[in-house]
Amino acid sequence: MIEVLMPFSMLKYGIRSKHRPFLDIPPTPDLKKSYDVVIIGGGGHGLAAAYYLANTHGITNVAILEKGYLAGGNTARNTTTVRSNYMTAASISFYKEALSLFETMSHDLGFNIMFSQRGQLTLAHSDATMRSFHLRAEMGKHMGTRIEVVDTHTVKDLCPHLNMDVGGHHEVLGGLWHADGGTARHDAVAWGYAKRASEKGVEIHQRTEVTGFKASGDKVTHVNTNRGQIKAGHILQAAGGLNGQIAELAGVRLPIRCFPLQAMVTQPLKPFLNTLLSSANMHTYLVQSSRGEVVIGGGSDPYQLASTRSTFDQKEHLAEGAVHLFPFLHNVKVLRQWAGITDMTPDYSPIMGSSPLQNYWLDCGWGTWGFKATPASGKRMAEIIATGRVPDILKPFSLERFEKFELLNEMGATAASH
Ligand code: FAD
């Protein structure tokens, strides 16, 4: 019966000219001549900054310019890990703030972001890794993070189906357990911020590409787009993998290189993995989604490229790691594989704050780890634009740190679990 009726109901909607699709975000309006703030990039970071500008600071004459579709960059390509188990005090404080905003985000936005705080377990397969875990755990505890080094019995309790000798190559010696870690639905985070920002008057312009800038002295006065030129009071650059190229258009040189990062997802399985699981030594991490699919990721591709193609090499590498950890995955089908372009800095930490141009603000260098930062970077970048002051929590992430050689080395904490 249903099979017979379905085409008729679809036809009814298809031919009814007055049928209004359910829209969370208003359609792209005409561009105005001038905005107080222009945000480049309609990913999570740009959308969150717009929301906090409008909601917290009452600045609503804001345009988000997105060359593709909303969140179609790395925001919709990431593997949704959120955590605060970093190495340096500056990073831990910042990601802790982000995590606390994730904890209340569904309520704050009135939009279900499917936050699941199930903890993250990172495996150690060598004494050197165990030593680095002790250092990381002590640092985290000192900063008030829920983090501890655990032995093999606890690893087994947390992850009963794990193959502890990992194919004989990488026997598990212990782990780093971060009870605060979890996942949040990436599209929902973007759509939640987009919906609430646009309700406050922020304009979201999809298929609107920034092509250049007009400057006067050390101030950018206008932004050029494929839909015309607009005047801008402030500009926030949050362009994901293309951050280096956009900054160059404004005459700003950033220490950023692009590397592809790939991930893949299997067919759905019954629940068997209740934590986020990661192995830095094997460059593999796994998380089971709420649909039962196993999301598998690893390290960046080893060459610089601004491309979103996925490769067989990486599929083989990710599959090998996953099967060593869980041998019963050997005959599971891979449903999808994809890639994003990541904007990597030399110290694996982001750049947030001012640029050599007076009214041009940077939110970039998010590489393979920036989804978890979305609410805190949005909130703090909005604060900078609204007040003109860089809050203490962002000061260590300035562009000048590269000149002063005050680097924030987070390579060990970001390499394989993002
Ligand atoms: P994006 O979401 O990339 O948004 C930038 C937007 O700018 C894009 O939509 C783009 O189209 C637009 N844009 C670019 N150029 C222009 C232009 N000229 N004009 C107008 N618009 C322009 N992070 C984590 O924290 N946890 C993870 O588990 C994780 N996993 C990842 C897995 C993969 C496979 C990838 C690729 C990334 C992962 N990341 C992860 C990193 C994370 O996705 C990014 O750091 C984060 O999404 C960056 O958000 P954004 O808003 O800055 O950038």
What digits encode the pLDDT tens for the residues 128-142? 999 999 999 999 999
How far, in Å, is the centroid of ligand 1 from the Cα of 34?
Answer: 26
Strand partners, 212: 224
* Residue 369 Cβ < 6 Å to ligand 1: yes
| Dihedral angle, C-alpha 27, 30, 32, 36, nearest 10 ° | 20
Tell me what the pLDDT averaged over the chain comes to: 94
Kindly report the pTM of this predicted structure: 0.95
How far, in Å, is the centroid of ligand 1 from the Cα of 43?
Answer: 6
Q: Which of 387, 320, 325 is nearest to 354 (CA)?
A: 387
Residue ranges matching CATH 3.30.9.10 in the chain: 117-179+258-344
Enumerate residues 6+ apart whose C-beta is below 8 A from 198: 25, 26, 204
How far, in Å, is the centroid of ligand 1 from the Cα of 128?
Answer: 32
Residue ranges matching CATH 3.50.50.60 in the chain: 27-80+187-255+347-413
Is residue 332 predicted with pLDDT exceeding 80? yes
Class for the domain spanning 27-80+187-255+347-413? alpha beta
Tell me the pLDDT tens digit for each residue of 85-95: 999 999 999 99
Tell me the pLDDT tens digit for each residue of 169-205: 789 999 999 999 999 999 999 999 999 999 999 999 9
The amino acid occupying position 167 is G
Is residue 2 predicted with pLDDT exceeding 50? no
Q: Which two tokens stand for residue 380?
A: 């703090």
Enumerate residues 6+ apart whose C-beta is below 8 A from 404: none
Atom in ligand 1 nearest the alpha carbon of residue 45: 51
168 contacts 23 by C-beta, under 8 angstroms: no
CB atoms within 10 A of CB 150: 18
Instruction: Out of 6-10, 164-168, 307-311, 403-407, pick the least confident.
Output: 6-10
Quote the strand ranges of 109-161, DSSP E: 120-124, 147-150
* Residue 83 Cβ < 6 Å to ligand 1: no
Give the CATH fold of the 117-179+258-344 domain: D-Amino Acid Oxidase; Chain A, domain 2 (3.30.9)
Q: Which of 271, 288, 1 is nearest to 121 (CA)?
A: 288
How far, in Å, is the centroid of ligand 1 from the Cα of 256?
Answer: 14
Atom in ligand 1 nearest the alpha carbon of residue 370: 45
Residue 252: C-alpha distances to residues 15, 230, 244 (Å): 51, 20, 9
Atom in ligand 1 nearest the alpha carbon of residue 41: 7
